[in-house]
Amino acid sequence: MNNRLLFLGPPGAGKGTQAIRLCDSKDLMHLSTGDLLRAEVAAGTEFGLEAAAVMNRGELVSDSLVLGIVQRKLINQSKGWLLDGFPRNLAQAKALNPLLEKIKQPIQAVILLEIDDELLVRRLLSRGRDDDNEPVIRNRLEVYKEKTAPLVNHYQDKGLLRAIKADGTIDEVAERIEQIIS
Ligand code: AP5
């Protein structure tokens, strides 16, 4: 089984939902940069205060801050892992490479969750997180298309990309992922 994985896809595609489920069943570390950033915000750290303003606009937090968090989590990690919401742009993807080479843990598969824009907007509006109002959702989607979507070709060129449809029920999407990684 592939146990060093990356989930790629727009906001609302179901990355977090599927990541929690998969990491529970396969005993993988779930590394969600969004969750780690929200924990900083909740703790009211200086970094959290800085990140909150950026997140509430739907923009990306600075690469150096995010990379520091990821590095601390991945180094000394012995079991498999699933990266969720990271890398978010080509600079982060390029910075991840030497880190993974250093720990001798290359990515085995990148799973792209594909979904229609209007469906994801509906999903996020009914969730209602701080950054889930329509103008911010639409900005997150634009940021995804401009900054994150280029990672699709990046990982396709490396032969790692596997795309699945992320519509349907949570169980149906989980089954599609399971087929890819087993
Ligand atoms: P992040 O937390 O990564 O948010 P996101 O990418 O916008 O993703 P979401 O959590 O909105 O969507 P998801 O695909 O995980 O879907 P989910 O499973 O939650 O990032 C937030 C912010 O942090 C960014 O905007 C940025 O500012 C910052 N940030 C994070 N990482 C960064 C990085 N690396 N660099 C810089 N900045 C960074 O599902 C969504 C909803 O749909 C839920 O209510 C769920 O229950 C529902 N749902 C899921 N699947 C289904 C289904 N099959 N059917 C029906 N409903 C479903």
pLDDT reported for residue 2 = 86
The 10s digit of each residue's pLDDT in 4-19 is 999 999 999 999 999 9
pLDDT reported for residue 77 = 83
Tell me the β-bridge partners of 7: 84, 111
- Quote the ligand 1 centre to 12 CA distance (angstroms): 5
The 10s digit of each residue's pLDDT in 34-63 is 999 999 999 999 989 999 999 999 999 999
Among 3.40.50.300, 3.40.50.720, 3.10.28.10, 3.40.50.150, name the CATH number for the domain at 4-181: 3.40.50.300
Interhelix angle 63-74/33-43, nearest 10 degrees: 100
Tell whether ligand 1 has an atom less than 6 A from the beta carbon of residue 104: no
- Quote the ligand 1 centre to 11 CA distance (angstroms): 5
Question: Looking at the predicted structure, is the pLDDT value of residue 76 above 90?
Answer: no
Domain residue limits, the chain: 4-181
pLDDT reported for residue 120 = 97
The 10s digit of each residue's pLDDT in 110-168 is 999 999 999 999 999 999 999 999 999 999 999 999 999 999 999 999 999 999 999 99
Q: Which two tokens stand for residue 163?
A: 């795309």
Rounded to an integer, what distance in angstroms lies between the CA atom of residue 160 and that of residue 151? 11
Question: Looking at the predicted structure, is the pLDDT value of residue 20 above 90?
Answer: yes
Question: Looking at the predicted structure, is the pLDDT value of residue 78 above 90?
Answer: no
By most ligand atoms within 8 Å of CB, the mutation choice from 7, 24, 33 for ligand 1 is 33
- Quote the ligand 1 centre to 122 CA distance (angstroms): 13
- Quote the ligand 1 centre to 132 CA distance (angstroms): 10
Residue nearest to atom 2 of ligand 1 (CA): 34
